[in-house]
């Protein structure tokens, strides 16, 4: 019996030990599986976050400048115009042209055939009769032309090229500024729509709660069953409103991506400045200075270009002074006495050198130049008028932005109160409905008033930020707007 008992104990011991080893393996496998699942979740989450693009309002300016091909096109055009300044300055460098000609032609044209270029053949027959035997001929020429003195024409050309570059650069700055403004305006609209989406989503939740309450109250006989059906209809309407707001919000994010050159889709864009819909901005700078506005600078640059063009026209009716030099050599297979020596045709046996100056004056161009002067004088007056009009427009834009900002700030303060009282009223109506004191119509009216108050409050904040942005645009300094971000 003892041996049997001991055998049974041993069998029990080994059986328990095997079970513990099996349980230990299973626990290890479960732990390993949890770790694999956790690591997989971390990898998937990290990958999803990495694909998202979080953008703030302060990044908009650099995104527009660096990502948009249109802005790069304006920049390249400005760089191209800057080379006109070097071209105008480069006219001081002498012009040196070198040409060489070698040919095998008839006896009658000992200087070689007439090719387009620097070297012209000597006119007249060199022989007493028509001899069409072929002999070689060569020619080499170097011509130097220099205009060191232009009587103000070179300086006028440099000034015109400089003004043209400034105009192209002002056009680039204007295009960049307008695109940055459009992108920031779109960002504000996106923030508003995002807040509107949250508001509509909260309204869906309120209607769902009311629907569930109506089910309970209908079962208890406190409210009629028709309330449940009406709340179901209201819930469907609230969800339709939510999906519509979500669609508009995603389309606005797509527009924001287009204006900033982002490659991400609307579902991968996250707005980091979403608290704008609940923050009050301030207006630190109320001066009316307009000198930094890119639109005004563009028209001022256009005016300066017209002045430079008029000056260039005025310098046209002036003398032209050129200094020239020439080195010239010829070789012919026919001597002066008619003897043919073909080997001499490959040598430059006759050379000439010369230098001189040439002064010319376009006497009869004064009529044409006067017409051009009148033309550019009219263009200059037009540009001056556009500068004055732009200053007037920007001045009124500043005043309008100030009015909008101050009035929208007062509106936002009142909508805060409207929203708070609407919340109090709805909470009270909800309690009254549970108690059977009011009907479905009164509760849904409270829901609508609360939703309307929340939307109105969000819109008031948006309009205040829009007014601040418009003021910054009129001033020509977007930092006035960006400095209010917290």
Task: Say whether both 215 and 313 belong to one domain.
Answer: yes
Instruction: Give the separation between CA 359 and CA 98, rounded to whole angstroms.
Output: 24
Would you say how long the chain is, in residues?
486
Give the residue among 425, 454, 465 at the shortest CA–CA distance from 442: 425
DSSP E strand boundaries for 29-170? 53-55, 95-106, 134-146
Residue 155: inside a domain: no
Check whether 399 has a pLDDT greater than 80: yes
Task: Say whether both 204 and 263 belong to one domain.
Answer: yes
**Which of these three, 298, 328, 360, is where a domain ends?**
360
Q: How confident is the model at residue 16 (pLDDT cuts 50, 70, 90)?
A: very low
How many domains does the structure of the chain reveal? 3
- Spatial contact of 451 and 423, defined as CB atoms under 8 Å apart: no
Question: Of the ranges 69-78, 165-174, 324-333, 352-361, which one carries the lowest mean pLDDT score?
Answer: 324-333
Residue 169: inside a domain: yes
pLDDT for position 121:
54
pLDDT for position 327:
84
Residue 158: inside a domain: no
436, two tokens: 């059977």
DSSP 8-state symbol, 349: -
Domain carrying residue 111: 94-148+320-360
Task: Say whether both 87 and 99 belong to one domain.
Answer: no
Phi, psi at residue 326, to the nearest 5°?
-145, 135
Task: Select the more confidently predicted residue: 279 or 105.
Answer: 279
Please compute the mean of the pLDDT values over residues 204-213 and round it to a whole number.
89
pLDDT for position 25:
47
Helix axes 366-434, 294-314, angle to 10 degrees: 180
Beta-strand pair 53-55/350-360:
unpaired
Check whether 207 has a pLDDT greater than 80: yes
Task: Say whether both 98 and 199 belong to one domain.
Answer: no
DSSP per-residue codes, 83-112: HHHHHHHGGGSPEEEEEEEEEEEETT-TT-
Give the residue among 445, 412, 415, 453 at the shortest CA–CA distance from 196: 453
Give the residue among 449, 446, 453 at the shortest CA–CA distance from 417: 453
pLDDT for position 471:
92
Exposed / middle / buried, residue 132 (Cβ in 10 Å: 0-12, 13-18, 19+): exposed
Residue 119: inside a domain: yes
Task: Say whether both 171 and 272 belong to one domain.
Answer: yes
Strand, coil or helix: 352: strand
Check whether 470 has a pLDDT greater than 80: yes
Strand, coil or helix: 387: helix
Task: Say whether both 379 and 465 belong to one domain.
Answer: yes
- From residue 198, alpha-carbon distances to 205, 239, 407, 462 in Å are 11, 12, 26, 15
Task: Say whether both 239 and 354 belong to one domain.
Answer: no
Task: Say whether both 338 and 385 belong to one domain.
Answer: no
Q: How confident is the model at residue 124 (pLDDT cuts 50, 70, 90)?
A: very low
Instruction: Give the separation between CA 222 and CA 335, rounded to whole angstroms.
Output: 134
Exposed / middle / buried, residue 468 (Cβ in 10 Å: 0-12, 13-18, 19+): buried
Helices (H) and strands (E) in the chain, counts: 9, 6
Question: Of the ranges 19-33, 46-60, 343-357, 459-473, which one carries the lowest mean pLDDT score?
Answer: 19-33
Residue 308: inside a domain: yes
Give the residue among 403, 420, 409, 423 at the shortest CA–CA distance from 460: 409
Please compute the mean of the pLDDT values over residues 296-317 and round it to a whole number.
93
Task: Say whether both 313 and 235 belong to one domain.
Answer: yes
Phi, psi at residue 106, to the nearest 5°?
-70, 160
Please compute the mean of the pLDDT values over residues 317-335 and round it to a whole number.
82
Task: Say whether both 181 and 78 belong to one domain.
Answer: yes
Residue 56: inside a domain: no
Residue 350: inside a domain: yes
Q: In the sheet where 320-332 sits, what is the strand order?
A: 95-106, 134-146, 320-332, 350-360
The CATH number covering residue 246 comes to 1.20.1600.10
Residue 171: inside a domain: yes
Give the residue among 159, 158, 151 at the shortest CA–CA distance from 362: 151
Percent over 70 (pLDDT), the chain:
83
Q: Hey, which of 120-134, 191-205, 472-486 has the most confident mean pLDDT?
A: 191-205
Task: Say whether both 209 and 304 belong to one domain.
Answer: yes
Check whether 452 has a pLDDT greater than 70: yes
pLDDT for position 31:
55
Please compute the mean of the pLDDT values over residues 418-446 and round it to a whole number.
88
Check whether 6 has a pLDDT greater than 80: no
Please compute the mean of the pLDDT values over residues 469-475 and round it to a whole number.
92
Check whether 45 has a pLDDT greater than 70: no
Exposed / middle / buried, residue 53 (Cβ in 10 Å: 0-12, 13-18, 19+): middle
Instruction: Give the separation between CA 428 and CA 298, rounded to whole angstroms.
Output: 60
Q: Tell me the pLDDT tens digit for each residue of 143-154.
A: 888 888 888 999
Q: How confident is the model at residue 329 (pLDDT cuts 50, 70, 90)?
A: confident
Q: Tell me the pLDDT tens digit for each residue of 81-109.
A: 999 999 999 989 998 888 887 777 766 65
Task: Say whether both 82 and 98 belong to one domain.
Answer: no
């Amino acid at each position: 019996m003892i041996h049997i008992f001991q055998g049974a104990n041993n069998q029990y011991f080994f059986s328990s030990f095997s079970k513990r080893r099996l349980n230990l393996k299973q626990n290890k496998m479960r732990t390993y599986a949890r770790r694999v699942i956790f690591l997989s979740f971390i990898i998937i989450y990290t990958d999803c976050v990495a694909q998202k693009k979080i953008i703030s309002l302060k990044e908009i300016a650099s995104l527009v400048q660096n990502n948009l091909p249109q802005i790069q096109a304006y920049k390249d055009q400005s760089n191209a115009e800057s080379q006109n300044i070097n071209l105008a300055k480069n006219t001081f460098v002498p012009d040196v042209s070198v040409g060489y000609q070698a040919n095998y032609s008839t006896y009658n044209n000992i200087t070689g055939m007439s090719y387009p270029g620097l070297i012209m053949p000597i006119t007249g027959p060199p022989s007493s009769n028509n001899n069409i035997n072929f002999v070689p001929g060569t020619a080499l020429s170097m011509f130097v032309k220099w205009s060191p003195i232009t009587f103000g024409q070179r300086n006028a050309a440099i000034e015109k090229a400089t003004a043209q570059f400034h105009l192209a650069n002002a056009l680039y700055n204007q295009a960049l500024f307008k695109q940055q403004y459009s992108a920031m305006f779109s960002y504000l609209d996106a923030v508003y729509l995002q807040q509107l989406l949250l508001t509509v989503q909260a309204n869906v939740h309120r209607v769902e709660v009311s629907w569930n309450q109506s089910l309970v109250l209908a079962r208890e006989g406190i409210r009629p069953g028709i309330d449940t059906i009406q709340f179901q209809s209201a819930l469907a309407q609230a969800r339709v409103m939510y999906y519509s707001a979500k669609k508009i919000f995603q389309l606005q994010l797509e527009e924001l991506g287009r204006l900033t050159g982002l490659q991400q889709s609307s579902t991968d864009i996250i707005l980091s400045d979403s608290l704008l819909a609940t923050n009050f901005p301030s207006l630190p700078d109320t001066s009316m200075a307009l000198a930094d506005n890119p639109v005004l600078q563009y028209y001022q640059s256009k005016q300066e270009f017209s002045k430079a063009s008029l000056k260039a026209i005025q310098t046209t009716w002036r003398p032209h002074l050129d200094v020239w030099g020439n080195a010239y050599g010829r070789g012919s297979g026919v001597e002066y006495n008619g003897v043919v020596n073909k080997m001499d045709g490959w040598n430059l046996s006759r050379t000439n050198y010369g230098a001189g100056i040439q002064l010319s004056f376009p006497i009869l161009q004064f009529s044409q130049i006067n017409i051009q002067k009148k033309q550019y004088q009219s263009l200059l007056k037009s540009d001056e008028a556009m500068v004055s009009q732009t200053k007037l427009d920007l001045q009124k834009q500043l005043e309008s932005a100030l009015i909008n900002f101050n009035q929208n700030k007062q509106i936002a303060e009142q909508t805060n109160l409207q929203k708070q009282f609407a919340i109090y009223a709805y909470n009270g109506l909800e309690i009254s409905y549970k108690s059977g004191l009011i009907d479905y119509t009164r509760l849904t009216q409270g829901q609508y008033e609360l939703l309307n108050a929340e939307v109105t409050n969000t819109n008031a904040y948006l309009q205040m930020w829009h007014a601040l942005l418009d003021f910054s645009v009129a001033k020509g300094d977007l930092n006035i707007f960006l400095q209010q971000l917290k």
